[in-house]
Each structure stands twice: as C-alpha cells, then as structure tokens.
Amino acid sequence: MKAKFLLLILCSGLFLFQQQGFAQGILKGRVIDAQNLSLPGANVILKGTQTGTVTNQQGDFSLVNLDAGTYEAEVSYLGYGTVTRSFTIEDNKTTVLNLTLDEAILEGAEFVVFGDRLKGQAKALNQQKTNANITNIVSSDQIGRFPDANVGDALKRIPGITMQNDQGEARNIIIRGMAPQLNSVTLNGERIPSAEGDNRNIQMDLIPSDMIQTIEVNKAVLPNMDADAIGGSVNLVTRQAPNALRISGTAAGGVNLLSDKPIWTGALILGNRFANDKLGVIFSASYNNHDFGSDNIEAVWYESDNGLALEEFDIREYRVQRIRRSLSLALDYEFDEDHKIYLSGMYNHRDDWENRFRMRVSRLDDSFDDGDFSQTAPGVFQTRGRVEYQTKGGIDNDRVKGTRLEDQRVYNLTLGGDHLFNKLQMNWNLTYAKASEERPNERYISYRSSNQDVQLDISNPEKPFAYLSNRADNFGIGFNEISEQYGYTDDKDLNGRLDFKLPYSNRGLLQFGLRYRGKDKARENNFFAYEPVDEDSFGPTLGDVPNEDYSDPNYLNGSQYQIGNFVTPQFLGNLNLNNAGQFDKEDVLDEYVPGNYTATENIVGGYVMADHQFSDKFSAIAGIRLERTMIDYVGNILDLDNETVSPAEGDQDYTNVMPGLHLKYDFTPNAILRFAWTNTIARPNYFDLVPYAEFSPEDDELARGNPNLKAATAMNFDLMAERYFDNVGLISFGGFYKDIDDFVYTITTQGFDDPIFGTDLEYSRPENGGTAEVFGFEASIQRQIWKNFGIYLNYTFTNSSTTGIEGRDGEDLQLPGTAENMFNASLSYENERLVVRVSLNYASDYIDELGGEPFEDRYYGRQTFLDVNASYAINPKWRIFAEGNNLTNQPLRYYQGVRARTMQEEFYNARFNFGLKFDLFD
C-alpha cells in the first residue's frame, strides 16, 4: 500500500511536468550578509510592480513569468536597511542576481546592529514578518543566547508555549493551552516519530538545541501543511550548508548543585561548498553528559468517613546520568540554476542510567476506614500501614551498569529536490524515520511489611509526610520480591510529498500537492518475577543484605524526609537471576501482555490553495486540504482465570475536509494585520484505541483502552497585529478562538467495580468529551529600550470551557492542559564584546487529568524559572560564556483538587555551565 501511494505521487509529478509549456524569463538569486551568511526572510520586490517574494532558509529566492526587460530589485531586511539592484530579463532564460547586505546605521537610531544576539533576532523577526501565516520564529543565534540545552527549553520562551518537565528538562509541549497530543512536531516539515509507547508525543529533551538552525511555531497552519495541529505545529529546521567554509564549536563544563557532579558539553559544525559551489556539505555533532538527580515526594489523598487522610505516600530519590549524542549531515547539489537535490539525515541518541530508591507507606485508607488511628496533634496521627523499600536498578554489565537504562533513539533520512520547469515550481521529498525506546534488564527488589506502626503528618498538606514510627524498624522489614523486565517500543515512518507552485497572473500563485504518511508502531515488553530457592540467602530482613543509607540531611523537599536504608544497586545487579538453582522464575503475564500492541496508520492527503496579492497592501491565501486516515491495530486481552491471551483487533477509516483562509494587510511595510480561519485535527493515541485491560493487583488499579475514540477536530480563528522596527524590534498583539469537537481526555475514578478484576478499583480510561471552547490573547515586545539595553517580554492569557465530561455535568471545567497565564521576560545588555541576559519564565497552574469528582482532579502546579547567561567576545571568532539554569530551584509539582494538597513535588536544584564558543569562517 505504501509503495502504491508513493508511486502515485511521483507519477502525478511527471504528468504535470509533461504538460508544461514554455514561459517567460526567470530571476533567481541569494541574499547574504557581510560574513557570507544567508539571510532568510528577506523581502524581494520588483520596483514599480506588485511582484515579489521572500528568501527561504538558504537565503534563496526566485521570480518566474517575468517579461523581457530591465528591472530594479529592492531587497529589504530589518537591521540591514534596503538595497536596490538593476538586472535584465531575457525570454526563456534564467537571470542570477546575488546580493550582499551590510549592517545599517539607521537614521535616528541609537545603535548599530553589530552583536550576535541582535543578528539572530533580526533573522527571526524578518522570517516572522514575511511569513504568510501567523508564526513565531527563533533562530539558532537567539537559542545560543539563552542557556537552553535542549529544544524544549528554548521553546518555552515563545509566546503561548509552556512545557511539561521531566527530570528537570522540558519534554512535552503545550501550545495555547493545548495538551501535547493536540500539537505536532516536525523536522524540516516531516513528522517526528515518538519514542514512547503509549502516545504520539515527541520528546523535546531528546534533541539538543545546538543541532537546530531555526524553530518555527505555526499557530495558524496553511492548507499545504499537515493538519494535525489543533494547538499549533512546531517545525525544527536543521542547519543548511553555508556559502563558504565555516567551522563552529562549543566546549563547556559545569556542575549540578543537587548531585555535585560535573556536566560536560561539546558541539562541532563543519560546512563548506565544493565543485564550483555546486555541492554543499554541512556536518553537525553534539555531546552532553550530565550527572544529576531529583528529590521527590508523592501522595494520594483520600476522603474517609473519619476525615481527610492519605491513602499512600512515597519518598523517592533519583540518581541519573544522561548522555545525549546527536549527529547530522546535509548535502545539496545544484545541477543548474533550476534544479537542485538534497539529502539530509539526523541521528539523536539519549541514554538515561537511573537508580531510584522508593520508600512507600500504603493502605492507610484501610486504617482510617477501620478507625485504627489516634490523633496526637492537629493533623498528626499514629496509625498502621504497609511499608515498602524498593530499589530500582538493572543487571551490572558494561552497558546497563546496574541501573535502569532508558535508551531512546530517533533518526531520519530525507531525499528531496527543488525544480523549476519554466514557470512551474516543483518540490518533492521522501523521508524514512524511526524512533525507539529500549529498557533492557530493568530490575526491582523490594522489602515490605504490612501492619507497621507509622506516623502520618498532614498538618501542612503542602508537605505531607508518612514514615515508620520507629525508624530503626527499617532494618527489620522482610523480603518481598525481585523482578526483571524488558521493554521495547519502535515507531517507523515512511513519508512522501509533492508540491507545485504555478503563477496564474502577475498577482496570484496557485499551489497544490499530494501527501502520504505511513506509520508502523509496536510495543513488545515482558516481565518476570523471581522467587529465591533459599529465601534465607536474602536475609530474613533488609538489615541482613548489603544495604546503604540514602538519607540526605539537605533533602530539597525538607529535612524531615529522610528516606532510610535500601538494598544497594550493586547487590541487585550482580544477582544471577537465570540460575535455576538459585531462583524460581515466573512469567507474569498481567504485568505486560495488555500493554503490548501493534498499529499501522496510513494518511493520504492533498491540497489546493491560491495566494493572491489584491493590492500592494492586501493579500489573501484561500485553500482546502483533504486527509483520509486509515488505522489498523492489534492488542491483547488477557484472561486471568485461564491465563490465556487472545488478540484484540480493530480499525478506523475516516476522511476530513479542512478549508482555510489567511488574510494579510500591510498598513506600512512594517505594520501588519493578519487574520486566519483554519480547521485542524488531532488523532487519538494508538494505544488508547486498543481494547486492552491493564490491571495492577498490588495497587488495585485498572486501565482500559477505548476503540470507539474519535479524532478531535477544531475550527480556529486568529487575529494578530504586528509592528516591526528597523532597529530590530517588534510589538505584537492578537487574539485566538478555538471550537473543538470530540476532544480526548483521560478520566480516573475511584471505587469502581469490575466484573472481571474486582471491586473498589482506581479505574482510568480515555474518553471523547463533547465540545471545548478555548480563547485568549497574546502580547509581545522585543526592543532596545536604551542604548545597549534590550527587553524581551511576552504574555499569553488562555481560558477554556468544556461540555460532555462523564459524570461532571453542570461543572465549569477547563480543558486539561490550559494554563491561564504564561509570561516571559528577559533583560539584556550588549556591547561590542559583552552580552548579559537575565530571563524569567512563568506558567500558571492548570488541570492535567480529570477525576470522577473535583477532589480527584490532578493539577500541574505553577512554575517560575530564572536563568542567567553572559558571554564575552575575545575577538570576532572566539567567545567565552557562563550560564546558570533554574536559579529559583523550581520543582515539578502536581496537586490534587486544591493547590495546598500536594500530589507530587520533585526538586532538581540549579546547574551552571562555563565554556568557550568559536566561529571560524572565510
């Protein structure tokens, strides 16, 4: 099927090529700066006409269908002024016009554009200004001026974006309050597969920021873009071959204040052109080695007849080493002025070696239901519960190193071409991409004892606490279990696209094309439990085996959280679990079989749109996109009584027609009003569609899939006013409204009775809601406010309402993921050598997951990050820098029902880096 679709796309292109006749003359060229760097987003206009275009990422432009004669081309660029050049067009010939712009001394301005930061800001603002749709652009030069190690941390500084963190780094993206599954992330316009098994989310902490040339956030997608972008679409543009030799790099070291261990970072970029400038080559590499960790507490709250209490409480300590490696190579070859092909690839590999030590007090609800407690002070109780000490690790070999290894990899390879057949422009590409996550030999060992005397302190619900009444009882906890599991997920994409542009007049451009996306996704896990043949060899208690006290008097959540003694990872990693003389092995089907599945998705799309310039001030793009989706999936249903597994198969097939309209009015060349009406889609996660049943008897938790889920659809309206400044600045203000049908949410209810798995369960499943309305506004300013000082400010307000939430009729519920307030502020100072920046990022709290009632709702807590960075240019080619992240020691925090009731609080502390950057060029 995939081969047929790709063949259809190629045949369509050949047919259209054969139909082309001859046309008039063509103008092509490239716009660069004094350092021979390409200038994307430059405005190219033929004076005295309404004919014009914009340079692409390589600084290239082309104008077709020109009558023979002499013209003047006017090229303008914020911060660089305007340049005019004359040229002559001949019939049926291509004229090449390359232009070099230099930094301008702006009349009436207080400064000259000279610093790297302002050059990067100029590139970003010029692209944002000249784009046909509502976007935000961040260039690599801007990214380098913020202390952001990965793409996710760079994205959180864009208006309307907040990030969900994992282990102290930004991972999942939320755009305008839209949860991660409602947004798309692409690499050079192609969707990135997900390394995680149960969703479509792209792990933004997998991609280093120094591997990306430009970040484009499309908040109103055009008909020629994939439509799965209810919140928006983030496009990561990799580096393109330079116009001459360029060698750049970074070498840095630092320290994490939680682990007190070093951070090592290196990056290298090599690029040049060969074969009389026909062949362009650029190679990029990045390496980051970070030893860190986190201090964590987690709580499950419970309302009993005897009052508010905890059902369960954890103290967790994580020790992690993360190594991130990335490589990319891009080649392009120009056969002549009209034909060019390119080949590009990127490989990202992240290893996380993690040990986790978890102390858990559970079944406190049983004691409170039975009245088995005594109150010793307000909010302080003596009661009984089950206490467990669990060590997470892995086999102790050269690869796994006695830890839980999470090996995530994403790579892609794209072959494409740009062609000009007289007045018909044709672009095509074929992409293969794969993402995978492997967890080999992941081990757990736990010691557990029921009916222990524990102290429960909820006098301050922001800092709940439960622990053994007598801490020395830690050593007397008895052996519980050992397990080892293997997890593997892969996600393979094969994509193809064919796009055409054809002028139908000197004011209008017709664009049309075909699209195919094919995906195969699978998860294959296993889980084995091991019972020692001689249980005495593990000691009757925790104190009889190798153990270590992992308590920390400086525990970031508070000194009262002393975690205690645990089995060492070395002891766990060196156990020979496959020795039948030492261990009895049991295949625990219910731990993994329901989570295994395969899914195949094919999407066929096409579009047509017209881009018309009605006057020198007013232009419009109108079009329609059609996408047909075909999904097949196979999961597993486990019969616990008979221990049998049967396949659960399903499929979906639907078509979406999505019109769009984009209007743009230029009051002046630098004052723009934009309007967009778009229609978009968000398909359900593959695993959510599988009719699985996943049951955890230890925690009385049941999760099911829902094969009846529908894709969410949205009608979106956007209005944005922008005022750009020649001295590289912007003031913008706009509003947005989204009307969403069939949004997907996860609901968790307590006390559920299931005929197969039992009673009084915690039950989770995905459901379609009814409708959701999301509205808000954005305001942004980037200006030099006085001499060498600059500000970067943006604020986004978002509000939402929903209908059709199961069991919650009549409640005013927000759409999960909608942060009401998001704010970024940055103050910078720059002169010829020194750049200093202080940056603040804030996002308010929002509902993350709905429960069966308000008490059970889970919220993601508000966040405030403070970062600083500075650099000093030794000379134009060498620069030293220093940066500090998370100076506020902002924790990841969830709360249950009300802000004061902590569900999870995880601290990471600050980190600092110091290093050297160089940029050598001809």
Residue of 255, 392, 225, 388 whose CA lies nearest to 318: 392
Q: Are strands 307-336 and 279-304 parallel, antiparallel or unpaired?
A: antiparallel
CA distance 26 to 30: 14
The widest CA-to-CA distance across the chain, in whole angstroms, is: 96
What confidence tier does 726 reach under pLDDT thresholds 50, 70, 90? confident
What distances in angstroms separate CA 598 from CA 8, 179, 519, 648, 651, one per listed residue?
27, 24, 11, 11, 12
**Angle in degrees, CA 419, 423, 429, rounded to 5:** 25
Q: Please give the average per-residue pLDDT across 728-754, as a whole number.
A: 89
Query: Could you count the other beta carbons within 10 Å of the beta carbon of residue 810?
Result: 5
Q: What is the pLDDT of residues 407-451, one digit of tens each?
A: 999 999 999 999 999 889 999 999 999 999 999 999 999 999 998
pLDDT of residue 18: 46
Q: Which tokens belong to 607?
A: 């579009």
* Residue that has been written with the tokens 């930061």 in this structure: 117
| Beta strand residue intervals within 129-258, DSSP E | 135-139, 161-166, 169-175, 184-187, 190-191, 212-218, 233-238, 246-256
What is the average pLDDT score of the chain? 89
* Residue that has been written with the tokens 């997907």 in this structure: 744
Q: What is the pLDDT of residues 139-149, one digit of tens each?
A: 766 555 555 66
Between residues 201 and 835, the one the model is more confident about: 835
Query: Could you count the other beta carbons within 10 Å of the beta carbon of residue 28?
Result: 17
CA distance 775 to 389: 47
Residue of 160, 142, 236, 250 whose CA lies nearest to 191: 236
Residue of 734, 716, 732, 712 whose CA lies nearest to 724: 732
Task: Write the CB contacts of 54 (distance below 8 Å, at least 6 apart in sequence).
Answer: 41, 42, 43, 44, 61, 130, 131
| Beta strand residue intervals within 524-617, DSSP E | 526-532, 547-549, 565-567, 583-587, 597-613
Residue of 838, 493, 443, 536 whose CA lies nearest to 686: 493
pLDDT of residue 116: 59
Q: Which tokens belong to 96?
A: 């090449």
pLDDT of residue 747: 82
Task: Write the CB contacts of 472 (distance below 8 Å, at least 6 apart in sequence).
Answer: none
The DSSP H or E segment spanning 610 is strand 597-613
Cα atoms in the 13 Å half-sphere on the side-chain side of 729: 17
Q: What is the pLDDT of residues 43-102, one digit of tens each?
A: 999 988 878 899 988 889 998 888 899 999 999 998 888 889 999 998 888 899 999 887
Residue 544 gets which letter from DSSP? G
Task: Write the CB contacts of 698 (distance below 8 Å, at least 6 apart in sequence).
Answer: none
Q: Are 436 and 524 in contact (CB under 8 A)?
A: no
Q: Please give the average per-residue pLDDT across 864-870, as a whole number.
A: 92
CA distance 527 to 71: 72
pLDDT of residue 110: 43
Q: What is the pLDDT of residues 308-330, one digit of tens each?
A: 999 999 999 999 999 999 999 99
Q: Please give the average per-residue pLDDT across 776-784, as a whole number.
A: 92
Beta bridge partners of 797: 777, 821
pLDDT of residue 106: 45
pTM for this prediction? 0.90
* Residue that has been written with the tokens 């008979």 in this structure: 642
Q: What is the pLDDT of residues 346-379, one digit of tens each?
A: 999 999 999 999 999 999 999 998 889 999 999 9
Q: Which amino acid type is present at position 585?
A: K
Per residue in 216-231, is it b (16+ CB within 10 Å) or e — as a string? bbbbbbbbbbbbbbbb
Q: Which tokens belong to 814?
A: 């927000």
Q: Cα dihedral angle (223, 228, 232, 234), rounded to 10 degrees? A: -90
pLDDT of residue 113: 46
CA distance 589 to 793: 53
The dihedral built from the CA positions of residue 224, 226, 230 and 235, taken in this order, carries a sign that is negative
